Chain A
């Protein structure tokens, strides 16, 4: 990398920064300007509305339930495909990409035909008074589906480059499987794992299309924050919509900050490992 010297290099940088400002910075500025257009008091009033609090609570509940499930699954899958040579290994890594390729609305539709009233299990579930579709369990399920690849996708390439020599050494020294994972593997991948957790969380908080299908959009019951943004906008309550949007934008910016910090820490970890 070098300091730009000639005018055309500065022109390229200017063009790049210009595009980024127009596409990325301007929308952010707009969100916060609109959220604050009525002053701080109106913002506080909007934030303390019952429906806003409920949507925030539901969104956090979905994230809290989704993230640990996908973290455990991601670690198990990454461990499985990087530590062993077995038939079906490539198949597993291909199948895990299906949620990336699936449109969110289609994902919601898949869950609707399984758990909905007309679906395969719907009658059986409703005879036992278990409601999944148009209730929070459905929202959690589709969110798990949509965010399932992230942890595994971040861990697999990293664990592949690490190889498993150190794990083998630990084994010959008498460590058992759990000890190897906690004391040898985890310290090498911890920042990447946290990065995966933050990414999963950000997607879980912001998921819209699939949740819109299974939620039924019932105010104070099944409205997550992203759904609330759309609902308020449809009702021409633009100021309140931007309040919810600003709340989500703050979480997104926090995720970005954490993410770049963790990427930096993991890079430093790799550099140390190479140097040592």
Chain B
């Protein structure tokens, strides 16, 4: 009851259960200290640069090249993880086959396996002498220590997002709708493209966006496989590191603000989109 008296402005409905002050206090204290304070400190630190210095740090040709590499590789990786994720979610939800549970558990491996281990393993696997890399080397394609390696590392680390957002939607998908379409004479491909896929789009967008955000920021797996050649296979996160090693702290902070702002904007855009899509689905349903 004390909580009602002391916080009349915050509560919309009176708190019935005790503990509002304590739980809100602990959460806000933690969020402020652990999340908000360091994040705003980064902006405060980079604000010490003059506008011209800031602009120079974030538009250095080598840094610009790293944005191109990161964004394009993340786009390819997102496309790959949407396609593979759709396949894996479909197979594990729709069919019962030996090894299904094992496959379903293994899908989370990229989240559980440390990214440095993933990077090391993929680079050895895809090196010109590796188990998989030798087949590509024979036809003159270089994967590890080159651009394709970055795409594969990003695909690996972001793979579970699409699968895990799609699975519950596929599970809830009403069989009756599909059967109704069939009795109305729709072919299998028509059912997939016109009936099933449209209901999956919100989940595909959510999972895809999460994959993209994750790929933009991925570091451990990427640096171990990319070869890190300036202008060609350096990602933006690595540029922060390069500047730190040159003791150019303000420049490193400036690049960090660009990456942070981009991913925060993407996150908020996704929230807005999700709000719209949910409303649209509710009104349709």
- A positions within 8 Å CB-CB of B: 1-4, 9, 12-13, 15-17, 19-20, 22-28, 30-31, 34, 72-73, 76-77, 79-80, 83-88, 92, 94-107, 109-114, 116, 118-120, 141, 144-145, 148, 164, 167-168, 171, 176-177, 180-181, 199, 202-203, 205-209, 212-213, 225-227, 229-230, 233, 238, 241-242, 245, 248-249, 252-253, 255-257, 259-260
CA distance in complex: A72, B95 (Å): 40
Which residues in B have their C-beta under 8 angstroms from that of A145?
Answer: 34-35, 38
What's the minimum C-beta distance from B107 to chain A, rounded to whole angstroms?
7
CA distance in complex: A177, B34 (Å): 27
| Of the residues A9, A180, A203, A252, contact of B109 by C-beta under 8 Å | A252
Count B-side interface residues using an 8 Å CB cutoff. 94
Which residues in A have their C-beta under 8 angstroms from that of B201?
Answer: none
A-B contact pairs, 21 of them (CB 8 A): A2-B95, A4-B95, A16-B87, A24-B109, A27-B122, A31-B121, A86-B12, A95-B31, A102-B217, A103-B260, A105-B259, A106-B42, A107-B38, A110-B42, A112-B249, A119-B41, A167-B17, A206-B112, A207-B114, A227-B116, A229-B120
Which residues in A have their C-beta under 8 angstroms from that of B91?
Answer: 12-13, 16-17
Within 8 A of A (CB), among B112-146: 112-118, 120-122, 124-125, 131-132
Say yes or no: A96 contacts B31, CB within 8 Å.
Answer: yes
Say yes or no: B114 contacts A205, CB within 8 Å.
Answer: yes
Q: A26-B132, A73-B30, A248-B113 provided; 16 other pairs, C-beta below 8 A? A: A25-B106, A77-B31, A87-B10, A98-B35, A101-B213, A106-B42, A110-B42, A113-B44, A177-B18, A180-B17, A208-B114, A226-B115, A227-B116, A242-B120, A256-B108, A256-B112
What's the minimum C-beta distance from A267 to chain B, rounded to whole angstroms?
12
Given contacts A77-B23, A171-B16, contact A245 B106 (CB under 8 A): no
Say yes or no: A106 contacts B125, CB within 8 Å.
Answer: no
Say yes or no: A113 contacts B23, CB within 8 Å.
Answer: no
Say yes or no: B93 contacts A30, CB within 8 Å.
Answer: no
What's the minimum C-beta distance from B50 to chain A, rounded to whole angstroms?
17
The 7 closest A-B pairs by CB, nearest first: A103-B217, A206-B114, A208-B220, A209-B219, A177-B18, A16-B91, A110-B38
Which residues in B have their C-beta under 8 angstroms from that of A22?
Answer: 132
**Stretch of B61-69, B96-104, B176-184, B277-285 contacting A (4+ beta carbons < 8 Å):** B96-104
Which residues in B have their C-beta under 8 angstroms from that of A208?
Answer: 114-116, 219-220
Say yes or no: B116 contacts A101, CB within 8 Å.
Answer: no
CA distance in complex: A259, B263 (Å): 28
Say yes or no: A113 contacts B41, CB within 8 Å.
Answer: yes
CA distance in complex: A64, B162 (Å): 31
| Of the residues A23, A176, A255, contact of B159 by C-beta under 8 Å | A23
| Of the residues B45, B99, B252, contact of A119 by C-beta under 8 Å | B45
Which residues in B have their C-beta under 8 angstroms from that of A9?
Answer: 95
Say yes or no: B19 contacts A20, CB within 8 Å.
Answer: no
CA distance in complex: A266, B201 (Å): 28
What's the minimum C-beta distance from B77 to chain A, rounded to whole angstroms?
12
Say yes or no: B131 contacts A30, CB within 8 Å.
Answer: yes
CA distance in complex: A199, B20 (Å): 27
Say yes or no: A171 contacts B17, CB within 8 Å.
Answer: yes
Which residues in A have their C-beta under 8 angstroms from that of B11?
Answer: 84-87
Which residues in B have their C-beta under 8 angstroms from that of A180?
Answer: 17-18
Residue of B nearest to A99 (CB): B35
Which residues in B have their C-beta under 8 angstroms from that of A20?
Answer: 88, 103, 106-107
What's the minimum C-beta distance from A190 to chain B, rounded to whole angstroms?
18
Which residues in A have their C-beta under 8 angstroms from that of B106?
Answer: 20, 24-25, 256
